[in-house]
Amino acid sequence: MMMKIKRFQVSLLLQLLLTGLSSANLCIEIPGRLKQIDVGNGQVFGVNDANQIFTWYENSWTQIDGALKHVTVGPAGVWGVNSDNNIYRLVGGSWVQITGSLKQIDAGGDQFMSGVNTNDDIFCLGKSSTIPAKYQTSPPWVNIEGKLKYYICGLLGCWGVNSVDNIFFRWDSTPDSCKGSRWQQVDGKLSMIEVGTEGTVYGVNSQGNVYRREGITASNPIGTSWSQVDSCGYNFKHVSYDLGFLWMLTTDGKILKCTAC
């Protein structure tokens, strides 16, 4: 099903309006269909509608044993949740169940985990419980006040969206204190949000439009404004960003990988 890259020429030379990148961005369509994708640490993982798990390796998809509805990769490793909301971590090439229940999970923090459960309760797991030397199957998940349907972290902070697509930033989340200190609502509406490992933030709204957060710095991790990414006629449902590449899933599961020219 998933073989080699299918390259498009001018028709997929998308003019993505991304501040900090070249004005012209070459996109390629990757064969296959996915419902969710996550990239981090130079790795790419995704799951399809059948909950099959794939990783992108040497320009082709390799299927991984197991079944997950959501997968994540980052400084804290490779994790996922299945259709019963059980949590798994990839250890030595095998999935090991971790105590807890989440519907969405993220490994993009600085070696700490984050996620939400079916009640939109928010949780995180500090670095001391995720690093290999202290690997645990029953780690102490920390509950964070509030309700979110999607919660994700990067080097400069954590972001989330709630059930009505309001956007929030969590201040002072660190590897040793993943709970952070306080919420700040951010302007705009998004149905999902993505934070690159180095802090770049993207999101998708309910209309399938993609946005990038501008003005993010170490001294201003919340940024200043949103700029829309030119969709070139597509509607998207999921995005992920790492090492200069923006991976985007259309509403029917097509996979686009875009890079600055």
Q: Are 113 and 98 in contact (CB under 8 A)?
A: no
Instruction: Report pLDDT digits (tens) over 117-149.
Output: 999 999 999 998 887 656 678 999 999 999 999
- Residue 137: per-residue pLDDT: 87
To the nearest whole number, what is the mean pLDDT of the chain? 89
Instruction: Identify the CATH assignment for 10-260 out of 3.30.160.100, 3.30.420.40, 2.130.10.30, 3.40.50.720.
Output: 2.130.10.30
Query: What percent of the chain shows pLDDT beyond 90?
Result: 79
End-to-end alpha carbon distance in the chain: 29
Take residue 58 and report the two structure tokens written for it: 């040497």
Domain edges within the chain: 10-260
Take residue 117 and report the two structure tokens written for it: 């459960």
- Residue 8: per-residue pLDDT: 34
Q: Are 165 and 190 in contact (CB under 8 A)?
A: yes
Q: Are 45 and 73 in contact (CB under 8 A)?
A: yes
Q: What's the chain's Rg over C-alpha atoms? A: 17
Q: Coil, helix or strand for 127?
A: helix
pLDDT band at 12 (very low <50, low <70, confident <90, very high): very low
Q: Are 107 and 76 in contact (CB under 8 A)?
A: yes
Instruction: Report pLDDT digits (tens) over 16-70.
Output: 333 333 334 688 999 999 999 999 999 999 999 999 999 999 999 999 999 999 9
Take residue 54 and report the two structure tokens written for it: 């794939």
Closest by alpha carbon to 23, among 250, 226, 253, 227? 227
- As a whole number of angstroms, the distance between CA 210 and CA 206 comes to 10
- Would you put residue 180 in left (φ > 0), alpha (ψ -120 to 50) or beta? left
